[in-house]
Each structure stands twice: as C-alpha cells, then as structure tokens.
Amino acid sequence: MTKNILGLHLPTDPRWVDLASISLEDILTDHAYCEQKAAASCISLIQRYPSKERLVNELSPIVTEEWGHFRQVLAELQKRNLKLGKQRKDEYVNRLLGFQKKGGHEEDRLLDQLLTMALIEARSCERFKRLSEGLNDEYLCGFYRRFMESEAGHYHLFIELAEDYVYKEKVRKRWREWLEYEAHIIKNLELRGDRIH
Ligand SMILES: [Fe+2]
Ligand SMILES: [Fe+2]
C-alpha cells in the first residue's frame, strides 16, 4: 500500500488489521460510533457557522451520508447476529481536540475544526484501506473499500473548505503541524484491534 496515504506521516502498524480481524463485533461497534460522530460533527459545524454558505451547503449532504454509513454498519452487525455495544472513550479524537486552538481569531478556530475533520477522515480512510486489503473475507474487503473511497472524498472536501475560507499558505502550514502532531498521537496510542483509531 501507499506509504503515506493522504499525506499521513505514520502508516498504521500492519499488526493492527490482524487484531481487528479477531474482534469484529468490537470493530464494527466502534466504526458505527465513528460514523455517528462524523454526522454529529458536521451538524455542529453547520450550527456554528450558519453564515458560511458553502460550508452549510456542502456539509448538509455529508450528514445524511455519514448517517447512512452508521446504518450500513448497524445492519452489518445485525446480519451477523452481533450487538451494537457501548460507545467507548475516543482517546484518538480527544487528543486531536486537545491540539485545536480554542481562543484567538475565529478564522484560526474554523481552520482547526476543518483540519481536525480532514485528519480523522484521512486516518479512517487509511484504516479502511488496511481492512479492505488485509481481511480474509472478500465480502468484508469490499465493504471496507466503499467506506475508504467515501472517506477519502470527505477528506478532500474538508481541505477544500479550509482553503476556501482561509489563505492557502496558512492552511498548508497548519496542516503540516497537524500531520506531525497526529503521527505523534498514533505512535503513542496503544495498538488495539477493537477500535478504528
Ligand atoms: Fe463515513
Ligand atoms: Fe466521512
């Protein structure tokens, strides 16, 4: 696979997919909540920036799409007689949120929120690629390939939105900082097969 998919600095440890393949109920549960959170985050962005017309128009259909993803994962669990478990604490996302600028100029805060979304999409896409290539089940490989393609599209959209609202050079500079920070998080997170990140 491509070493640094979507610019990510640190590829996922190849052992992760093996761990994930033996915890299907947990990985599907975690995936389901990731999709829910993606939908909820898009709704929050629309609520926070109602005057940004392009953002509102582009993210509205993504809410529907992410919710559709949640329903697909839920259906997959039920088809296999597996249960949607409880939502876990999302260490990866929490650490990313800790890197966001909270005060200062509104433009900087918007930029960080869009780049956080872009990064979660990029890492999810990378993990889905791993699953689509590494699982020993043709059906599931196709299942994850479709998610991979969809989340890659969302990654591009969040970067485009950032470049639409913020000076391009500033976006690139901050994106490099985010990539570096994200690699640091991945490096320090416990490798577990029961979660997407
Ligand atoms: Fe999704
Ligand atoms: Fe997405």
- The answer to whether the Cα torsion of 41, 47, 52, 57 is positive or negative is positive
Task: Say which ligand is closest to the CA of 72.
Answer: 1
Q: How many residues belong to the chain?
A: 197
Number of domains in the chain: 1
Give pLDDT, residue 181: 97
Asked, for residue 158, whether it belongs to a domain, the answer is yes
Asked, for residue 195, whether it belongs to a domain, the answer is no
| Dist. CA 119 → ligand 2 center (Å) | 10
Asked, for residue 112, whether it belongs to a domain, the answer is yes
DSSP conformation class of 97 = H
Asked, for residue 94, whether it belongs to a domain, the answer is no
Asked whether the predicted pLDDT for residue 1 surpasses 50, the reply is no
Beta-carbon neighbours within 5 Å of ion ligand 2: 38, 121, 151, 154
d(Cα 128, Cα 149) in Å, to the nearest integer?
9
| Dist. CA 62 → ligand 2 center (Å) | 7
pLDDT band at 50 (very low <50, low <70, confident <90, very high): very high
Asked, for residue 95, whether it belongs to a domain, the answer is no
Give pLDDT, residue 134: 94
Express each pLDDT in 158-182 by its tens digit: 999 999 999 999 999 999 999 999 9
Asked, for residue 49, whether it belongs to a domain, the answer is yes
Query: What is the value of pTM for the model shown?
Result: 0.95
Asked whether the predicted pLDDT for residue 131 surpasses 50, the reply is yes
The range of the structural domain enclosing residue 127 comes to 18-84+102-188
| Dist. CA 129 → ligand 2 center (Å) | 14
Asked, for residue 9, whether it belongs to a domain, the answer is no
| Dist. CA 53 → ligand 1 center (Å) | 22
Asked, for residue 117, whether it belongs to a domain, the answer is yes
Joined together, the tokens standing for residue 70 give 């949640």
pLDDT band at 2 (very low <50, low <70, confident <90, very high): very low
Provide the residue type at 18 as one letter.
D
The CATH number covering residue 35 comes to: 1.20.1260.10
d(Cα 112, Cα 121) in Å, to the nearest integer?
14
